[in-house]
Structure 1
Amino acid sequence: MSQDPFQSLSQIREILSQLPNPDQEAVVGALNRNGQLTKPPGALGRLEDLAIWYAGWRGDHRPVIRAPQVLVFAGNHGVAARGVSAFPPEVTVQMVANFQAGGAAVNQLAKCFGATFMVVPLDLDRPTQDFTQGPAMSEAEICAAFSAGWQGVDPDADLLITGEMGIGNTTSAAAIALALFGGTARDWTGRGTGVEGAALEAKAQVVADGLAANADLLADPLQVLQALGGREIAAMAGAILRARSLCIPVILDGFICCAAAAVLEKARPGALDHCVAGHRSAEQAHQRLLDALHKPALLSLGMRLGEGSGAALAIGVLQGAVACHSGMATFAEAGVAGG
């Protein structure tokens, strides 16, 4: 990997201060085209809105999705030693090997919808610090992880999905969401890999302890990520921000991905305008987080696997929306009365 593009959080803030916006000429062109297609107005529901949204970000009133990219980041969490997961940290390394061999669910979904796939392991032999004792990462560590996400995005991609793997990362995501949006630890803490009962209550306590231990860092969203996040969560944020800089639309995955994205939105309102929510996961706080981000989900299938799988499945929805918008005939082209 080349030198990290980010050496400080202030450099990330600078990027956030100068985000590109959608191409309004393309939006107007797409709206006009949508009004002439061989269908009653609004008959395709949200598919119409999705196609127009996509057209604006790609600067083309009649776009085609040719090069979706699925990026999965993997990291290990020091807080996993608190017993917050039903699985040991060794599973992260094992699942990275499974991704690399093409054996995970997200591999199948990426292949199904013609997406390229890459997994990026991030210092798996060096977990983050236990955030109940202080910040999970130093500024240098969060910047390195953020840079890995930034550099992982293919500039030639025309759609991005980010996923994650990291035992303990629902605990990290819950802590981030609590710090950003308030409430109680129990509001944001879910079963993750399957913890319940007393173990779930203990997990919520770990989340609360993390905020207490890092109270002096929680006023700034990027420092929230540094204090409570993981390398894979920071990398997802970096990739999502890189996609915005390149005007590449993003489909967000589940609770952990949305927690990463929420950091950007809280740091700069509107930072996620290039994103849609792929699905609502079964992780209990995901809907609460989607509501806070004002992102209605495209799918709700009871999924809670992570690794980008729900967002990868939603590629098909967006492909369908864009195919209808760009491929359908207008009333005039079809010789159909009523246009």
Structure 2
Amino acid sequence: MHSFAITAPDRGMENSLKHKVDRKTKPPGSLGQLEALAVRIGLIQQTLTPSLDRPQMLVFAGDHGAAKAGVSAYPQDVTWQMVENFLAGGAAINVFCRQNGLGLSVVDAGVAHDFGGPREGLIDLKVAPGTANYLESPAMTAAQCAQAIEQGAGVVFGLAAAGCKVVGFGEMGIGNTASASLITHCLTGVPLADCVGRGTGLDDAGLARKQALLEQALTRYRVAGGGDDAFAVLAEFGGFEIATMVGAMLAAAEAKMVLLIDGFIVGSAALVAARLEPALLDYCVFCHRSAEPGHRAQLQALRAEPLLDLGLRLGEGTGAALAFPLAQAAVAFLNEMASFESAGVAG
């Protein structure tokens, strides 16, 4: 597996960036989180004049063996049907990417469906047609997990070589909130009950069943001697879309790109990636606070303050696409807003 070389941005120009922000024609701190965001993007790119060239959204799709056991309100076929919807341009993520000028590609990391050869907008990285059922065995082998990480990295290194400076992360996979709940519990220590939500809309009985099934999976893992090593937890409970996303995130940080982190499922991949390479977090912009309860545990563990809190729980990368204009605004004011000196305003 690729050995990632991720180093924290050189903070030597942080004071220069902060001075540039503070000398704009406004009271200090009056643009709130946008000021910190401008400094962060400047540090990532090591420049006083950052840019968000060739922005790209990647939606990672995969199926989960545990979905057939009832951890989701929707049947597994919805995964491939939604991928077709993405490819046809009809989903929420398509609308928001079009609105905000983001390129969009769908990565088939392990959907249990044959999409019929090369398709425009579809990147075929299928490891297998869905993971195994983690109620009975690990979701994937160590080799499959490593393959997914490697393949995800390859896609993003390709984007970086083509001049992309910002990449958004989204996902699609029936059952993947259950995976995210297990990963979040194992890597944060927050009680499993506080990491499990309604996902695609479970009722009370469905939520109780999901909770019981995940407790069962966790017990099987612990009895087998499973610990809290990030790679082992990912292989045990993850989906191919989550593992592929981990590799993509690690590559994006190595390439010094801005990472737009969506909600709960993308957050579970960020948790894993940050455990493997802690410096990754310096490259992440956490875009929103999901309505899924486990997302709060993730954000707290990662010490992240998201840009938006809209009660979103759709996934697909929608929160990242909606937050992208805020990143654009942060860069724009840093580059274009007059300083007190240039405007002749007493500051």
Q: Does 1:231 align with 2:240?
A: yes
- For 1:158 and 1:271, the matched residues in 2 are separated by 15
TM-score calculated relative to the size of structure 1: 0.92
For residue 136 of structure 1, the aligned residue among 135, 139, 160 is 139
Q: Does 1:311 align with 2:320?
A: yes
For residue 246 of structure 1, the aligned residue among 239, 255, 277 is 255
RMSD over aligned Cα atoms:
1.4
SS at match of 2:145: helix
Corresponding residue for residue 179 of structure 1: 186
Residue 28 of structure 1, CA deviation: 3.3
Residue 263 of structure 1, CA deviation: 0.9
Instruction: Show structure 1 runs of 5+ residues with no match.
Output: 1-5
For residue 149 of structure 2, the aligned residue among 143, 146, 149 is 146
- Residue deviations 1:77-136 (CA, integer Å, cap 9, x gap): 000011111111101111111111111111111122211110011232222011111210
Residue 25 of structure 1, CA deviation: 4.0
- For 2:187 and 2:32, the matched residues in 1 are separated by 32
- For 2:110 and 2:305, the matched residues in 1 are separated by 34
- Identical residues among aligned pairs (%): 42
Corresponding residue for residue 173 of structure 2: 166
- For 1:20 and 1:328, the matched residues in 2 are separated by 31
Q: Does 1:47 align with 2:34?
A: yes
Residue 137 of structure 1, CA deviation: 0.3
- For 1:25 and 1:61, the matched residues in 2 are separated by 12
Q: How does 1:14-29 map to 2 (within 5 A)?
A: 14-15=3-4, 18-29=5-16
- For 2:101 and 2:13, the matched residues in 1 are separated by 25
- For 1:66 and 1:290, the matched residues in 2 are separated by 27
Residue 66 of structure 1, CA deviation: 2.6
User: How many pairs does the alignment contain?
Assistant: 325
Q: How does 1:196-207 map to 2 (within 5 A)?
A: 196-207=203-214
Instruction: Show structure 2 runs of 5+ residues with no match.
Output: 113-128
Q: Does 1:323 align with 2:332?
A: yes
- For 1:218 and 1:327, the matched residues in 2 are separated by 50
Corresponding residue for residue 298 of structure 1: 307
SS at match of 1:272: helix
Q: How does 1:24-103 map to 2 (within 5 A)?
A: 24-103=11-90
SS at match of 1:297: coil
Residue 36 of structure 1, CA deviation: 1.6
Range moving further from structure 2, 239-248 or 32-41? 32-41
TM-score calculated relative to the size of structure 2: 0.90
Q: How does 1:214-225 map to 2 (within 5 A)?
A: 214-215=221-222, 216-225=225-234
Residue 175 of structure 1, CA deviation: 0.6
Aligned residues of 1:30 and 1:62 also touching (Cα < 8 A): no
